[in-house]
């Protein structure tokens, strides 16, 4: 377990992609700081199971990452509990779909705050700890929408494009500090959030389940396959290995060929 003795902070890790990344890092021996939303009892079950399965310490810290004070409190809690953050995974995100002339300004503000500003603040606060320990990994969950746009997603697309730019800048600044920074950019990922969209889409478009999956959700992915959360977890683990020490500033697509078109 090559990450034994290191601590990973993964935002949005109570379910979905973030949970899979946290679990994969824990499997390699990293202690985990979880944060995210959900039912308190279910979150505790998830936390306890991860700790028991992998024999690591797993802490859950509730935090409102749409507010700068929330991100600052999260990082301070991680530092207090584990002394430092060695691996930072900025994964938490949110979405809203509306035409630009109908897009609620408050939704824009929330999406930019969570998807972009929280990542900036987490990097700003964790980098000194990584520098002090002479090692670090920053992994930002971006999206195919960091490389391509879709209509009605102005805030999300803007935030993900900016996150990719932030990642490149941080990578260049830290290039000689043994700290790497990379994006992972998935297309559609098979999570409960996506699965739960299918019945409403079937009803609205008068399509079968199979038609929704192939012609709506996977219309832009040539492989016609969902990315699995576990695949993203495995990629995150690789980015932490010594073999990836010269991979920095990258935007790594895992989108079934979406952005190759």
Q: Which residues are catalytic?
A: 156
Token representation of residue 163: 């996150």
Residue of 170, 112, 183 whose CA lies nearest to 142: 183
The Cα 230–Cα 20 span in angstroms is 6
CA dihedral over 105, 73, 76, 6, signed as positive or negative: negative
Q: Which residue has tokens 């700068």?
A: 68
Token representation of residue 9: 């902070």
Q: Is 141 helix (H, G, I), strand (E, B) or coil?
A: strand
Backbone φ and ψ for 224, nearest 5 degrees, come out as: 60, 35
> In a 10 Å sphere around its CB, with 0-12 CB exposed, 13-18 middle and 19+ buried, how is residue 90 labelled?
buried
């Amino acid at each position: 377990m090559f990450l034994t003795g290191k601590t990973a902070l993964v935002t949005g890790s109570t379910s979905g992609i973030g949970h899979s990344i946290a679990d994969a890092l824990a499997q390699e021996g990293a202690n985990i700081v979880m944060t995210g939303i959900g039912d308190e009892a279910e979150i505790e079950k998830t936390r306890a199971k991860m700790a028991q399965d992998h024999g690591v310490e797993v802490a859950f810290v509730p935090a409102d990452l749409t507010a700068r004070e929330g991100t600052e409190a999260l990082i301070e809690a991680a530092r207090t509990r584990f002394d430092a953050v060695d691996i930072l995974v900025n994964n938490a995100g949110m979405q809203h779909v509306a035409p630009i002339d109908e897009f609620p300004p408050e939704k824009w503000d929330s999406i930019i705050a969570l998807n972009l500003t929280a990542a900036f603040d987490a990097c700003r606060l964790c980098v000194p700890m990584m520098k002090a320990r002479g090692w670090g990994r920053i992994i930002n969950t971006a999206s195919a929408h960091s490389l391509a746009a879709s209509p009605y997603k102005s805030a999300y697309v803007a935030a993900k494009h900016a996150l990719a730019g932030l990642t490149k800048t941080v990578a260049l600044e830290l290039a000689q500090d043994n700290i790497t920074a990379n994006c992972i950019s998935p297309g559609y990922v098979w999570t409960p959030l996506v699965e739960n969209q299918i019945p409403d889409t079937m009803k609205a478009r008068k399509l079968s389940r199979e038609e929704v999956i192939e012609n709506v959700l996977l219309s832009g992915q040539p492989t016609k396959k969902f990315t699995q959360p576990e695949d993203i977890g495995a990629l995150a683990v690789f980015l932490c290995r010594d073999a990836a020490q010269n991979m920095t500033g990258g935007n790594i697509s895992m989108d079934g060929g979406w952005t190759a078109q």
